[in-house]
Amino acid sequence: MKTGILFHFTFDRVIFLITIVVISLNPYTVFSQSNDLNQDGVEESMTRILSEIEIMVPINILDTGDVVHTIPAPGTHCQGLTWDGEHLWVTDNTTKMIYKVSPEDGEVISFFPFPSSIKFSEGLAWDGTNLWGAGWNESNGNGSKIYKLDPSNGELLFSFNYPGEDTWPHGITYDGQHIWANNFLHDTINSLDKFNPENGDYLGSIPAPGEKSLGLTWIGSFLWSNDYELHRIYQIDPNNGTIIFSFSCYAGILRDMTWDGEYMWSLSWSDATIYKLDIGPAAIMLNKDEATELSIYPNPFSNRVTISFSLADSEKINLDLFSITGQKIKALANKQLPPGNYNFSWDAGKKDGELLTEGVYFIRLQYREQVIIKKVLFSR
């Protein structure tokens, strides 16, 4: 009955409620799931409210961490997970095999054994051509290695010993240049370690987001990890380990994770299930620098900001400001423009500045089917 009453609120009152929530949230931890009644990642009481206002993501994306699909893991002790652009790859420490599986139903397409020098294999990564894995020879982590495999036959192409004592690498990922590994150290400060894939040289570390962090993947310009005890997934600045934001995710016991370009996949060893997750509004964080035709200066900004873009043809453009939760804050421009270069200045330091609290926002340029999004930081 309370739900029915809630949906009779006027549009203005709904916007007011949303605004109060947005203002009260920390901009780096904004995706709360306090109304997730069945712990599936869907915040039931917000479903129709969000569909009533303009948001940056499709209205069927209800909230961050929604489980949209599951497939069975190929074994009972699966640990590593990665995506090759078409299929998922999974390691199993019982069979000592690495499996290529269908993301549709989990059907095993092919498999091959671990390298003979590896008895326990954890994380997996894909560098665009080859598989990378993290493993060790003893269950306490002794003999830890990072290794590269030919995905067509499992041939060992390269490996290097993990540096340090009592290291225990779990999830690994490839950022386009480097290999990162999640070094899990049991009830202490874990680290995310960076390596040169050409020679295995250690390049530095940042702190992992928690004591029970195992998985690791790369999305856009950020590292992502998890904490299996807290049931949380984290977006991490690779430069210093700062947690940009996090959200709850009840998808079994979180192990390794990967990204397919649209959805996150998470492996749970407790129920031998692979979960496909919609990260919802967090997806707008992914376009960090890809859109070179849209620039914003200064960034961060405290008053006047200049937004520059170019048009090859005459276009009807929409230029809008959104909050980190996807709420449209202000329409900056909505007009037909001829071809040319444009510098649009907006003074957020005067009256319009009252609309903003300090934190992360997004500027979206849209014309025809083109959508370009840039992150900006407002600081008074």
Which structure tokens are listed for 256? Answer: 């390794």
Average pLDDT for 191-219: 93
pLDDT at 8 exceeding the cut of 80: no
Which range, of 272-276, 289-293, 329-333, 368-372, averages the lowest pLDDT? Answer: 289-293
Highest mean pLDDT: which range of 79-93, 252-266, 315-329: 79-93
Pairing of β 370-378 and β 328-337 = unpaired
pLDDT one-digit tens code per residue, 281-294 = 555 444 433 334 67
Rounded to 5°, angle at Cα 29 from 71 and 14: 95
pLDDT of residue 140: 60
Alpha carbon distance 187, 98 (integer Å): 29
| 48-86 pLDDT tens trace | 222 222 323 332 333 567 889 999 999 999 999 999 999
Q: 124, 34, 32: which is closest to 84 by C-alpha?
A: 124
Q: How far does CA 112 lie from the centroid of its chain? A: 29
CB-CB contact of 212 with 228 (8 Å) = yes
Q: What is the mean pLDDT of residues 232-258?
A: 88
Closest CA to 256 of 216, 294, 286: 216
Q: What value does the mean pLDDT take over residues 185-207? A: 88
More confident residue, 148 or 243: 148
User: Cα–Cα distance between 193 and 178 in angstroms, integer?
Assistant: 10
Q: What is the pLDDT of residue 309?
A: 86
Calpha distance 283→371 (Å, rounded): 13
Q: For the chain, which domains are there? A: 2-56 (no CATH), 67-283 (2.130.10.10), 294-378 (2.60.40.1930)
Using the predicted structure, report yes or no on whether residue 27 has a pLDDT greater than 50. Answer: no
CA distance 365 to 376: 13
Read off the pLDDT of residues 118-146 as tens digits, 9 standing for 90 and up.
888 999 999 999 999 999 887 665 789 99
Residue 1 confidence class, pLDDT cut points 50, 70, 90: very low
Residue whose entry in the numeric block shows the structure tokens 């993290």: 134
In terms of C-beta density within 10 A (0-12 exposed, 13-18 middle, 19 or more buried), how is residue 58 classed?
A: exposed
Q: What is the pLDDT of residue 55?
A: 29
Q: Please report the pLDDT score of residue 199 as a whole number.
A: 96
Per-residue pLDDT, 6? 36
Whole-angstrom distance, CA of residue 179 vs CA of residue 289: 21
346-366 average pLDDT score: 76
Separation of alpha carbons 219 and 236, rounded Å: 10
The listed range with the strongest mean pLDDT (12-26, 82-96, 250-264) is 82-96
Is residue 61 within 8 Å of residue 67, measured between CB atoms?
A: no
Q: Kindly tell me the sign of the dihedral angle through the C-alpha atoms of 198, 201, 202, 203.
A: negative
Burial of residue 80 (CB within 10 Å: 0-12, 13-18, 19+) is buried
Across 348-376, average pLDDT: 75
Averaged pLDDT for residues 295-303: 86
| Start-to-end CA span in the chain (Å) | 43
Q: From CA 335, how far away is CA 318, in angstroms rounded?
A: 7
- Distance, in Å, from the CA atom of 30 to the CA atom of 183, rounded to the nearest integer, reads 27
Q: Return the CA Rg of the chain.
A: 23
Give CA–CA dist 253/269, Å, rounded: 6
